[in-house]
Amino acid sequence: MGKLLIKIETERRRLYDVSRKEPHNVKKIPQVNQRLDELINMYQQEI
């Protein structure tokens, strides 16, 4: 479960970076957000 939390935090930071550096990138932001949602759902199913 620890590895999953690390992946969630990594994607969260990636989403933050993309939204700050590339706010106009309408393809990348939703992709990163979707991946983060998937990881969070996986985590919620495990606990």
pLDDT, one tens digit per residue, over 32-43 is 999 999 999 999
Burial label, 23 (beta-carbon count in 10 A; 0-12, 13-18, 19+): exposed
- Tokens at residue 14, please? 């990636």
Side chain identity at 10, as an amino acid letter?
A: T
Q: If you count them, how many residues does the chain have?
A: 47
pLDDT at 13: 98
What is the share, in percent, of the chain residues with pLDDT greater than 90? 94
